[in-house]
């Protein structure tokens, strides 16, 4: 397994891997550490079978608005340079992010989305003796990567009596040898928030030697606080950024890991390299189009709250998340409702087995949510 450096092999052995495990890890490295079967579109396949072209897709937490005008133009203008690697396009995103996030340049590493750094962090910090800790229900991607390499995942239930925030006390206590503690804020699939003070408490009280990863994929949408200030303060924190959500670039691909350079270096051992220059150009243009976040946050919140009014009017119970997704308790096996909605050409999220009667719905366009509402009432009648 020459692909693994000696230093990395030592580190892996310290985390409880044996030489037998090296093959799987090498497989992940050669796959660019983006396991094809553990990211949102792949997971969404679990609840989606060949949607017809006129279907309403509320299944993968995508942004139906797509890239903003400036990003579309920048990506289109970049196509003619598609024969070049143009590393400078990624450098520009790194520069803009470091300015906007208030961290030094070498604290930002650019990726084609955030799935890769999420998986890489699992590879870099967990192992048979270093568990991965996450909330439940939660975004399954990191647990999938942990299972693939043979690391244990400890799932800590969200707090029912505290608006389904992460239970940071229980997460800190989950394992004295935790390798990586994953906080998704707001959480996927619930859309619920964990307070900044709880996250600060976790970072201050986590087991020594563990790293806290804060996945801020949906933070812009919720208008919640970012935690890059903790990175700037050199804490054991990795913040994940993606352009897939508020910026509507899930298919164009851009993202970043923001962390201390020594932590990024550990992730970097698993990096594959080149960035798509169309995605990079669109990311820079999105960051420069300052109106985008506020405008989109307002639009998504408006459609979401309107949907909540509908649910209340018809006495459906739901978890009032602050993201572009939320969960409805359909009070029967959710798979039945998912299938019945598909027959109406409405595609909603996959099931989370720990909440077997809850259905995740992504906030779509206003007109799409009207179609959802009609179909949902029909299916639930
Ligand atoms: C919480 C969370 N993190 C990370 C991702 C990864 O997305 P991407 O690789 O498109 O950035 C997703 C995708 O839905 C997500 O929901």
Mean pLDDT for the stretch of residues 72-80: 98
Q: What angle do CA 121, 122, 126 make, to 5 degrees?
A: 115
Distance separating alpha carbons of residues 347 and 343, to the nearest angstrom: 9
Ligand 1, pocket-test mutation among 43, 48, 114, 137, most atoms within 8 A of CB: 114
49 CB-side CA count, 13 A: 6
Of ligand 1's atoms, which has the minimum distance to the CA of residue 114? 11
DSSP state of 245: S
Tell how far the Cα of 344 is from the centroid of ligand 1, in angstroms.
27
Q: Whose CA is nearest to atom 6 of ligand 1?
A: 115
Tell how far the Cα of 288 is from the centroid of ligand 1, in angstroms.
22
For the domain 40-65+292-380, what is the CATH code?
A: 3.90.1150.10
Tell how far the Cα of 19 is from the centroid of ligand 1, in angstroms.
31
- Architecture in CATH of 16-34+68-288: 3-Layer(aba) Sandwich (3.40)
Q: What is the pTM of this model?
A: 0.93
Of ligand 1's atoms, which has the minimum distance to the CA of residue 244? 10
pLDDT in tens, 277-286: 999 999 999 9
The gap from C-alpha 260 to its chain's centroid, in whole angstroms, comes to: 20
Structural Rg of the chain based on CA atoms: 20
Tell how far the Cα of 118 is from the centroid of ligand 1, in angstroms.
9
pLDDT in tens, 49-66: 588 999 999 999 999 999
Of ligand 1's atoms, which has the minimum distance to the CA of residue 218? 1
Tell how far the Cα of 115 is from the centroid of ligand 1, in angstroms.
6
Ligand 1, pocket-test mutation among 32, 33, 38, 39, most atoms within 8 A of CB: 39
Q: Say if residues 278 and 78 touch (Cβ distance below 8 Å).
A: yes
Please say if the pLDDT value at position 291 is more than 50: yes
Mean pLDDT for the stretch of residues 236-242: 98
Tell how far the Cα of 25 is from the centroid of ligand 1, in angstroms.
21
Q: How confident is the model at residue 27 (pLDDT cuts 50, 70, 90)?
A: confident
What b/e string do you get for 187-203 counting C-beta neighbours within 10 Å, with b at 16 or more? bbbbbbbbbeebbeebb
First to last CA, the chain: 58
Mean pLDDT for the stretch of residues 359-377: 98
Percent above pLDDT 90 for the chain: 84
**So where are the chain's domains?**
16-34+68-288, 40-65+292-380
Looking at residue 49, its pLDDT comes to: 58
Tell how far the Cα of 67 is from the centroid of ligand 1, in angstroms.
16
Lowest mean pLDDT across 122-126, 235-239, 272-276: 272-276
The residue with greater pLDDT, 283 or 267, is 283
The residue with greater pLDDT, 185 or 15, is 185
Tell how far the Cα of 285 is from the centroid of ligand 1, in angstroms.
21
Distance separating alpha carbons of residues 110 and 119, to the nearest angstrom: 14
Q: What is the mean pLDDT of the chain?
A: 93
DSSP 91-120: HHHHHHHHHHHT--GGGEEEESSSHHHHHH
Q: Whose CA is nearest to atom 2 of ligand 1?
A: 217
Please say if the pLDDT value at position 268 is more than 80: no
- Where does ligand 1 bind, in terms of residues with CB under 6 Å? 39-40, 61, 113-115, 118, 139, 184, 188, 215, 217, 242, 244, 250, 255
Q: Whose CA is nearest to atom 12 of ligand 1?
A: 40
Looking at residue 1, its pLDDT comes to: 44
């Amino acid at each position: 397994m020459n692909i693994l450096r000696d230093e990395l092999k030592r580190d892996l052995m310290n985390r409880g891997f044996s030489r037998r495990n090296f093959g799987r890890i090498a497989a992940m490295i050669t796959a660019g550490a983006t396991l094809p079967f553990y990211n949102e579109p792949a997971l969404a396949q679990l609840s989606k079978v060949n949607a017809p072209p006129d279907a309403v897709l509320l299944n993968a937490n995508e942004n139906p608005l797509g890239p903003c005008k400036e990003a579309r133009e920048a990506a289109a203008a970049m196509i003619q340079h598609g024969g070049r690697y143009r590393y400078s396009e990624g450098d520009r995103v790194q520069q803009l992010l470091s300015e906007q996030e208030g961290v030094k340049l070498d604290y930002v590493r650019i990726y084609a989305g955030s799935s890769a750094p999420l998986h890489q962090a699992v590879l870099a910090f967990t192992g048979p003796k270093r568990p991965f800790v996450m909330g439940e229900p939660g975004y399954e991607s990191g647990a999938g990567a942990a299972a693939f390499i043979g690391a244990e995942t400890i799932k800590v239930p969200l707090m029912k009596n505290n608006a389904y925030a992460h239970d940071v006390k229980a997460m800190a206590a989950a394992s004295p040898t935790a390798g990586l503690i994953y906080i998704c804020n707001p959480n996927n699939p619930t859309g619920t928030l964990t307070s900044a003070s709880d996250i600060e408490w976790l970072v201050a009280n986590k087991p020594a030697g563990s790293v806290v990863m804060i996945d801020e994929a949906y933070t812009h949408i919720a208008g919640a606080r970012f935690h890059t200030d903790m990175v700037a303060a050199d804490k054991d924190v990795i913040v994940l950024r993606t352009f897939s959500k508020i910026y509507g670039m899930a298919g164009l691909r851009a993202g970043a890991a923001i962390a201390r350079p020594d932590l990024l270096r550990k992730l970097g051992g698993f990096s594959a390299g080149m960035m798509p220059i169309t995605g990079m150009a669109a990311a820079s243009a999105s960051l420069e189009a300052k109106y985008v976040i506020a405008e989109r946050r307002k639009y998504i919140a408006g459609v979401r709250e309107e949907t909540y009014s509908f649910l209340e009017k018809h006495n459906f119970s739901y978890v009032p998340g602050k993201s572009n997704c939320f969960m409805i308790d359909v009070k029967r096996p959710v798979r039945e409702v998912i299938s019945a909605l598909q027959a109406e050409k409405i595609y909603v999220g996959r099931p989370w087995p720990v909440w077997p009667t809850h259905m995740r719905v992504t906030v779509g366009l206003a007109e799409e949510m009207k179609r959802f509402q009609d179909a949902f009432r029909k299916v639930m009648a």
